[in-house]
Structure 1
């Protein structure tokens, strides 16, 4: 049986003031789309420069990933910060140096 991978993820900007919650089936492609604007004039992530992956969670089923995204989006900022810091206490950017494309997602391969 084929293993499916869907991700709920959180991005931030360099100041870590903005948090963006999303869902995708291809996290590397989606990060590239956020960075380059996905052929749209302006998106939330390009406007606020939210290119840095600080948290993600893998799901086998898209329904679970979407449910989790909606749940997290409903949380207050403080709760989102606690979630990030439970897995990534130093807020390390999991997509490394974003000047390199495609981004190197070392966290996914470990």
Structure 2
């Protein structure tokens, strides 16, 4: 479902941005950022599902740690470095947010992948 919504967001980025601004420059920049975000939608969906699995199992500490590392270590700290140290712009900020989503999805998937690989003898 998140792949489909990402595809729709990617394809419909310009019309969607036109709903919010008549400025061609704003529409162009916003559509570019929406296309970047669209590519991370499957990872965001995976992250939400895996967090729900952990919560359903009663294991709340690990997703809390993953969320904390992702938010403060990747999203906030990396964004701070990109903007204030390296002087990068809006694209870099959105890349940090995408990296946060992808990183959290991978960190939440790691225990399941380890268990699967261990059980299958690989």
TM-score, scaled to structure 1: 0.26
Higher helix share: 2
* Larger-gyration structure (1/2): 2
Greater fraction strand: 1
